[in-house]
Every structure is written in structure tokens, then in C-alpha cells.
Amino acid sequence: MKIIIDALGGDNAPKAIVQGAIDAAKEFGVGIVLVGQGEAILRCLNDIGLDNLPKGIEVAHADGVVSMEDDPTNVMREHKDSSMVVGLKMLADGQGDAFISAGNTGALLTAATLTVKRIKGVRRAAFGPVIPNKGGSMVLIDCGANVECTPEFLLQFGFLGSVYANKFIGVENPRVGLLNNGTEEHKGTPVHQEAYKQLKRAGEAGLINFVGNVESRDALLGAVDVLVADGFSGNIMLKTVEGTAMFMMSILKKIFKDNVLTKLAYLCCKGGMKGLKAMLDYRETGGTAMIGLNKPVIKAHGSSDARAIRSAVRQAMRSVERGAEQALVENIDRLKELKEQ
């Protein structure tokens, strides 16, 4: 297996990207191709005390870089030589099994759609992060790729998320819910009301296990395995979950440091606290999958450090091994059959 990584994308590139790739290659035994300016990558190696490329690491030279300020609509025209575009073209050409970038989100979405391309029959690729809930975890789809959605897009997100949840996190017959401001059928905008009808019909046809409208609090309490949302609402929910987790951890830290007794209490539950911190830490998750493309593309957090990149490699490997994309290719026609009925 070979994972292609954009070495120049992200706030901490290239040093954190290179270190994370080295850590992943050593720990997981996977082949990695770092795409970027060869000289800069070699300087990073020297900075961490290495004279040569470690086993399993290759470098593919690319002069350019897509900045966070670049217009996503111009990325393919103005940044053909960038590490992001070169890496995606390598993936499309079969020179790797998955691609990771911590760079410009909009540019990655545009470039991946134009190079790796969507699975035939998929109207829009969507971001599908796996986030923790009381039941373990759930796929939130979409969380930013498609701010404005049609009912058909939301129907497809439910199907894409269901297949992905089954293959990636191993949930049998995943429960699919539509993020809404109430559980009643008539709740939400006209788009949500029509999407509810289409998702319900898909559920009755046995394509998904649709459980209805779901409020955000109930989703986090384990009501669903797949939460369908337009990109605007989904992104707000994702950022709220991240912010709440950071806030709660800071409060707990303050409480445990209050006095000698609270410090002793921390020692008694240290293992549990570490587990909680890991569950809520984006650096352990690695990144967000772009669901609906022909091959795995992972968007890592813009501020990813070496640990986050290592986790993103692990996530990419799991995507390849579990064949979510192939399962989507094999099953997407079932939605077309539903539409024709």
C-alpha cells in the first residue's frame, strides 16, 4: 500500500508533515510518497537528524503550493505544479492508494473532484468526518463541502454515509437520521421536508435504515450512526462539538488542579481521562474523508502536527483496506433504481 501526502499543505508544513509521515511509515510499515519541494523536504530530514530518506519514504517533486488564501476555482488553472494538484494526479493515475492534504479545503475539494473524480452516479462528494457520540461514533455528512443542498443531495448523503459507516467503522445496518430542528415530519425548510420524504422512501425500499429527523443533542447521545446535513448546518455542528470538547477539557483540567484532593482524584481516574482526551482530540482522528470519490482522499486539519498526520495515514490505510469506495461503486445504482420506480 502507498499513501500520497501533500508535504506543503497546512499551517505546519513541511516539517510536521514530514515528521508525521516518517512516524507513520515506521509504525505502520506503509509506503509513503511526500509531494513537494525536494530541497525543503530534505532540509526537514536534516532538522530531525536524518541524512537520508527513511525506509518506505519517497519524494515526488512539485515546485508550487496552494495557499489558504488561493481561490479554489482557479487551483487547476493557476496551480498545476502545486503539491496538492500533482499528488492528486498521481492518485488518479494509480501511483498511490490514497491521498492526504492539510491544505486549502476548497481547493482540495475542487481539485479532487476534477482529477480523482466522483463515482459515477454521485451528484456531489461530501465531507464525512467520524465524530464521537454516546454510542461510540457516527458519520456526519456533509460538514462543509456543499453549503446549499437539494433534497436529492441529502438523499445521496444518507446512502453514501450508510455505506461508509458500514465499511469504515463496521456498523451493521447503520441508523441514518436527518439533522433538523425537531423530530416531526413537517419540521425544517422545504428542502428538509422533501429530503425527509425521499430518505423515508429509501428506508422503506430497504436501501438505508432511516430513523427520521434527529436533533443535534440526540445525535450526540447515540440516536444515529449517520447524521445527514447540508454543509452549512453540518459544519456548524462539527465546530460546535470541537469547541465544546476543548471547553470541557479545559474546565476539567482547572478543576483537577484546584487543590491537593482534586489532584489525588485525578490520579485515581487518570486512565479514564486520557481515554476521554484521546476520543475528543482531532489529532487522533486524523482527518475527514471526502466521500463519493473514486479513491480515498483525506482532508487533514489545517493545523495538523506530526501526530495528526500519522493518524491521517492510519485513517487512509483503513479506508483502502476496508474498501468503502468500491462498495459505493457497487451499490450506487440502487439509488438510481429507486428514482426510476
Percent of the chain with pLDDT over 90: 62
Q: What is the pLDDT of residues 94-142, one digit of tens each?
A: 999 999 999 999 999 999 999 999 999 899 999 999 988 888 899 999 9
Residues 139 and 69: their CA atoms lie apart, in Å, by 29
Averaged pLDDT, 62-87: 90
| pLDDT bucket at 71, cuts 50 / 70 / 90 | confident
For position 323, what pLDDT does the model report?
Answer: 87
The predicted-structure confidence for 209-258, as pLDDT tens digits, reads as follows: 999 999 999 999 999 999 999 999 999 999 898 888 888 888 888 888 88
Q: Please state, in angstroms and rounded to a whole number, the distance separating the CA atoms of residues 18 and 10.
A: 12
- State phi, psi for 262 to the nearest 5 degrees: -70, -30
Average pLDDT rounded to a whole number, residues 285-293: 89
284 — pLDDT class (breaks 50, 70, 90): confident
What's the one-letter identity of residue 136? Answer: G
What per-residue string of b and e applies to 252-277 under the rule 16 or more CB within 10 Å gives b? eeeebeeeeeeeeeeeeeeeebeebe
Q: Is the pLDDT of residue 339 over 90?
A: no
Amino acid symbol at 290: M
Q: Please, which pLDDT band fits residue 91 given cuts at 50, 70 and 90?
A: very high
Q: What are phi and psi of 337, to 5 degrees?
A: -65, -35
Kindly tell me if the per-residue pLDDT of 18 is higher than 90. yes
**DSSP category for residue 131:** E
CB-count exposure of residue 151 (10 Å: 0-12, 13-18, 19+) = middle
Please tell me the pTM assigned to this model.
Answer: 0.89
Cβ atoms of 24 and 314 closer than 8 Å: yes
Q: In the prediction, which pLDDT does 178 show?
A: 98
